Amino acid sequence: MKASEILQRYAEDDRNFQRMNLRGLSFKGKNLSGADFSEADIRGTNFSGANLTGAKFRGAKAGLQKRWVVILLVTSWLLAALSGVCSLWMGIFVALIFDSDPINVVSGWVSLVILLVFFTIAVRKGAIAVAGTSAVGVAVSVGVASAGAFRVAFAVGVGVAGAFAVSVAGAFAITVAVSVAGAFAVSVAGAFAVSVAGAFVVASTFAVAFAVAFAVAFAFALLGLYISWRAMKGNPKDAWIRNAAIAFAATGGTNFYKANLTDVDFSKAKLKSTNLREAILTRTCWKNTEKLDRIRPGNTLLKNPQVRELLKTGNGYKKSFQNTDLRGANLQGANLESADIKQADLSEAILHDANLKDANLTETLAIGTDFTGAYLTGACLEAWNIDSTTLLDRIDCQYVFLLEYPNTNGSRERRPHHPDKTFDRGDFEKLYKQLINTVQFLLKNGINREAFREAFQQIIAENPEITWDSIQKIERKGDNVLVEVTVPETTDKAQIERTFDTAYHAELQARIEELSRDKKYLQESNLALIQNQSLQNFVFDPKITVTTENKNMSDNPNIKTGDIKGGSVGGDFNASNSVLNIDNLNSTITNQINELSATSELEKPGIKELLEQLQTAINTDENLSDADKTIALEQVQTLGQAGKEPQKSENQGIAKRAFLMLQGIVAGLLAAAKLAETCQSIIPAISSIFGL
């Protein structure tokens, strides 16, 4: 059937082209979306630039037409024969060892040594590594030739350059034969036999040097076979040979170059010698596809052998895909139990009914990802990025962890908190609905206040709907600090994160360069961490400035990073007055707490007992400055007032702001500080009382 007839039927709303013979037809740039080519013969068919969205190629047979198979096989065998002939000539040079001419004898020994060195390098380092040997050999040959020994120089040059060319040509020929014919034993035997036969024919004309020459030729044939076997196994030493051979073998094969293959189904298809360079492979199904390792993938996600295997088999059990590009991958029903998917890109991927039990999804990008029906029990979701386009319907989940590694209390922040409690149906969706419109910034090794302020100010400048009040949570995660910011539903979260990261690290680098000019000042300050200062003082008030009096550094060794000037949440804060009234503030808080009802459950402290513990932790923490103690105690006072009616919505809002203030102070403390340890357990407990 002609291509024009297929297109005419398609125009008449006929989408069924199953089991048809479409060999060699061209549909370049055509629209065939939704067409069904299941079990069709598409060998040599040209779909380059075509729109095939939603098309089906189940069980289809792609690759080369028979005439192209014959052409490429003959070409590879001719190349193998040429390699055999050339290897024999190199063997003749070695055979000069038995010549009567002393110069020829030297040339023979030089050739033999060069070949032995070449074989050693090729086996240990790969064929490409001997390219350097070739260059050195040619240089040596020039030097020797200038001394007058032309025959020795010629032997060196031919020995090195010829060895490289012969071994690579032989390996390439065998690899092409395997890629085209598919049957490893038959194709290798054919190419190998032709190579040796070529050597034998030439060698038979040189009776004197026959034995040595043929032995060298045979050795080169074995080396080519070994390099080819290693290349086909995916060994990185000779990956370039495999890639070149597959690209050559794809000549005349099925062509999907730049085609739109979104939602296309290739399950059980045979895709040997198929060109998929620059194709759009969003949600494309590769389940049980055959010969997927013989395609020409270009820069698509199929270039990664591990990803190809995952897409084909769906088995990622306990495997590592850390930092892997899985954008748009079709992983429906995949087994990713205990898999490490940390920092991977899962954007627009499909994980319908996938098993993600105990999987590590730390910092995974999951924008537009479909987790419908996925099993997420025990998964780690620390700082993963999701938005309103992420589908979390019908999630099967009993509990999750919000930390990859245990904190100082040995906790991985399990949700639900109680170890014996599990999510009821729908609880997981409710928990993460609040995160759908949030962006999380995980700042490694603490937070630099000036860099944070500048970076967040840039976010505000580019996104007027985001304000300083959009910051919802600041908390320490071991040595790191996690900042959570709410954003509008339509916000490009990935762009927000990129903008923040770029601005933060640029400003941080600028600060480091500035401070490095004063070594003593750099030693006195701790650029990476905020120490003994309220993080909220600069986070929530964009008017705050930080000044540093460098001229006083030598006179005052106790000066830290700088002085915070400006207001705080709820109005201006006079540190000195507040410090003087800490005792009065404690007295007021104590009276306030005593008015709250005590709990009747001894093993489950109520808000009265929790606030008492928090007040004690603040007063006894030696890492807190008096100013920070005053701020922290004011939050306890606020919680005490709101705790009389914790279920009222206005009191819940007041409590939330108080928690943020406390989290900001805790984020600036060392992980082992008393207040930091206490807040790890107390703040979640008080939050639950307020229904937060």
Which DSSP string corresponds to 494-528? HHHHHHHHHHHHHHHHHHHHHHHTSHHHHHHS-SS
Residue 647 pairs in a beta bridge with none
Give the number of residues written for the chain.
692
User: For residue 237, what are its two tokens?
Assistant: 């030493």
Higher pLDDT, 521 or 658: 658
Range scoring the smallest mean pLDDT among 62-76, 146-160, 175-189, 327-341: 146-160
User: Residue 256: is its pLDDT beyond 70?
Assistant: yes
Question: 166-170, 312-316, 582-586, 663-667 — which one is most confidently predicted on average?
Answer: 312-316
Question: Which one, of 187, 189, 133, lies nearest residue 161 by Cα?
Answer: 133
Residues 539, 668: Cα–Cα separation, whole Å? 12
Percent with pLDDT over 70 in the chain: 63
Q: Tell me how many degrees the CA angle 118-119-122 measures, rounded to the nearest 5.
A: 85
User: Is the link from the previous residue into 557 a cis peptide, with omega within 30 of 0?
Assistant: no
Residues 571, 634: Cα–Cα separation, whole Å? 13
pLDDT grade for 156, boundaries at 50, 70 and 90: very low
Question: What does the pLDDT look like over 22-63, one tens digit per residue?
Answer: 999 999 999 999 999 999 999 999 999 999 999 999 999 998
Residue 361, CA distances (Å) to 75, 384, 407, 520 in order: 49, 7, 18, 42
Task: Please enumerate in sequence order all residues whose Cβ is within 8 A of that of 348, keeping only pairs 6 or more positions apart, or say none.
Answer: 282, 283, 327, 328, 367, 368, 369
Residue 219, CA distances (Å) to 111, 115, 213 in order: 14, 10, 10
pLDDT, position 83: 65
DSSP secondary-structure letter at 52? -
Question: 12-21, 108-117, 249-258, 592-601 — which one is most confidently predicted on average?
Answer: 12-21
pLDDT, position 540: 38
User: Residue 241: is its pLDDT beyond 80?
Assistant: no
Sign of CA dihedral 614, 615, 619, 623: positive
pLDDT, position 123: 66
Residues 122, 128: Cα–Cα separation, whole Å? 8
Residues 124, 237: Cα–Cα separation, whole Å? 9
114 — phi, psi (to 5°)? -60, -45
Question: Which one, of 260, 311, 316, 304, lies nearest residue 290 by Cα?
Answer: 311
Range scoring the smallest mean pLDDT among 230-239, 585-594, 610-619: 230-239
- Separation of CA 511 from chain center: 29
Mean pLDDT of 550-578: 33
pLDDT, position 513: 64
User: For residue 571, what are its two tokens?
Assistant: 């109005």
Q: In sequence order, what DSSP letters do the residues of 401-418 get, joined into one string?
A: ES-SS--TTS---EESSS
Q: Could you tell me if 345 and 301 are in contact, meaning their C-beta atoms sit under 8 angstroms apart?
A: no
pLDDT grade for 560, boundaries at 50, 70 and 90: very low
pLDDT, position 96: 67
Residues 295, 249: Cα–Cα separation, whole Å? 9
Q: How many C-beta atoms surround the C-beta of residue 135 within 10 A? A: 13
User: Residue 354: is its pLDDT beyond 90?
Assistant: yes
Higher pLDDT, 255 or 76: 255
Helix (H, G, I), strand (E, B) or coil at 360: strand
pLDDT grade for 682, boundaries at 50, 70 and 90: confident
SS (H, E, C) 631-674: HHHHHHHHHHHHCCCCCCHHHHHHHHHHHHHHHHHHHCCCCCCH
pLDDT, position 91: 66
- Separation of CA 585 from chain center: 51
Q: Scanning the structure block, which residue is given the tokens 């009776």?
A: 207
Residues 504, 455: Cα–Cα separation, whole Å? 5
Q: How many C-beta atoms surround the C-beta of residue 577 within 10 A? A: 9
User: Residue 432: is its pLDDT beyond 60?
Assistant: yes
Percent with pLDDT over 90 in the chain: 27
Q: Could you tell me if 378 and 358 are in contact, meaning their C-beta atoms sit under 8 angstroms apart?
A: yes
Residues 543, 553: Cα–Cα separation, whole Å? 26
Question: Which one, of 40, 42, 14, lies nearest residue 26 by Cα?
Answer: 42
466 — phi, psi (to 5°)? -95, 130
Residues 500, 578: Cα–Cα separation, whole Å? 35
Question: What does the pLDDT look like over 492-543, one tens digit per residue?
Answer: 777 888 888 888 888 877 766 665 554 444 344 433 333 333 333 434 333 3
pTM for the structure as a whole:
0.56
